[in-house]
Structure 1
Amino acid sequence: MKAEEVWTFTVEMYGRNGVAPLCLELQERCDLDVNMLLFMFYLGQKGLAPHSISALENAVRDWREQVIVPLRNIRRFLRNADWDSAQKLRTKIKNDELNAERIEQELLCDAVETIPAGDRMAPARAYLSPTRFDLSQPECDAALERLRACMLLSPKA
């Protein structure tokens, strides 16, 4: 799997109208890994699914918990700092967080074992599910459909 292609897809999808706010809402509400969700959308669009989502979560867990989350927390802490030097640091940390997320995607690409998927939404549906997050099935379905529509992705192969 080509990490550069996955990153390009992620940046494009995340930048589409409505995607970022919904992803961030899910991240805040239930600790969803936005990178993982977008990776699942990427796989689905390629007609693939991961053999094991749990294996992928394990492959990135330490990186996410020890690098990405602390950077995010520092960036958020600095959000309301009203002096220029703190905002310059916040901008640098934001860039570092983005680079860390890109590395997470490289880890996902290295770790993924794929199987064919006839349903383009299957990987995202398997990840964003009540078995993984404190959401009801209707909430998961609604979020996935909103994301799919915002991303302008076809649900059919």
Structure 2
Amino acid sequence: MDQEEVWAFTVAMYGRDGVAKLCLELQDRCGLDVNMLLFMFYLGQKGLAPHSVNALEEAVRDWRDNVIIPLRQTRRFLRDEPRKAAQDLRQKVKADELQAERIEQHILCDAVKPMPSNDPYAAARAYLSPNRFDLEQNDCDQAVDRLITLMGFVAA
């Protein structure tokens, strides 16, 4: 899997109006991994789905828990710190967090065992499901449908 293509897709989709806001709401509300969700959308746009979402979760769990989440917590902690030096540090942590997320995508690219899929949103729906998160099925469906629209895709 082309890691640069995956990253370019992620950055482009995350940058679309409303996508980041909705993804971050889901991240804060139920612990969703934004990278994982966007990776699932990428696979779907390629006509693929992962053989196992659980295997992908396992592949990135330690990296996410021990690197990305602590960096995010540090960045958020520094957000309200008034000292210029602290804000300079926050910008460095933010850049490190972004690099860590890119590495997570590399891990996903290396770990995925893709299989053909006729539904471009099957992978995203499999990931964003009540089986994985403390959300109702309707909330999951609405979030995926809203992301499809915000990303400029056509509903299946």
Q: TM-score, normalised by structure 2?
A: 0.99
Quote the Cα distance in structure 1 between the aligned partners of 2:88 and 2:153.
37
Quote the Cα distance in structure 2 between the aligned partners of 1:27 and 1:45.
22
Tell me which residue corresponds to 1:98.
98
Q: 1:154 Cα shift?
A: 2.4
2:43 touches 2:49 (CA, 8 Å); kept in 1? yes
Tell me which residue corresponds to 1:138.
138
Quote the Cα distance in structure 1 between the aligned partners of 2:82 and 2:74.
15
Could you say what the CA RMSD is over the residues aligned between the two structures, in angstroms?
Answer: 0.6
1:22 aligns with 2:12: no
2:145 touches 2:155 (CA, 8 Å); kept in 1? no
Partner deviation per Cα, 1:17-41 (whole Å, 9 max, x = no partner): 0000000000000000000000000
Tell me which residue corresponds to 1:6.
6
Q: Which amino acid aligns with 2:61?
A: R
Which consecutive unaligned segments of at least 5 residues does structure 2 have?
none
Partner deviation per Cα, 1:47-88 (whole Å, 9 max, x = no partner): 000000000000000000000000000000000000100000
1:130 touches 1:140 (CA, 8 Å); kept in 2? yes
Quote the Cα distance in structure 2 between the aligned partners of 1:134 and 1:117.
26
Stretches of 4+ moved more than 2 A in 1?
A: none
Question: For structure 1, which segment, 105-114 or 145-154, has the greater mean C-alpha deviation from structure 2 after superposition?
Answer: 145-154
Partner deviation per Cα, 1:67-113 (whole Å, 9 max, x = no partner): 00000000000000001000000000000000000000000000000
Quote the Cα distance in structure 2 between the aligned partners of 1:45 and 1:80.
39
Tell me which residue corresponds to 1:111.
111
Question: Residue 49 of structure 1: SS of its match in structure 2?
Answer: strand
2:30 touches 2:133 (CA, 8 Å); kept in 1? yes
Q: 1:153 Cα shift?
A: 1.4
Quote the Cα distance in structure 2 between the aligned partners of 1:26 and 1:152.
19
Q: TM-score, normalised by structure 1?
A: 0.98
Question: Residue 118 of structure 2: SS of its match in structure 1?
Answer: coil
Q: Which amino acid aligns with 2:72?
A: R
Which consecutive unaligned segments of at least 5 residues does structure 1 have?
none
Quote the Cα distance in structure 1 between the aligned partners of 2:68 and 2:132.
20
Q: Which amino acid aligns with 2:41?
A: F
1:58 aligns with 2:53: no
Q: 1:11 Cα shift?
A: 0.1
Quote the Cα distance in structure 1 between the aligned partners of 2:65 and 2:129.
21
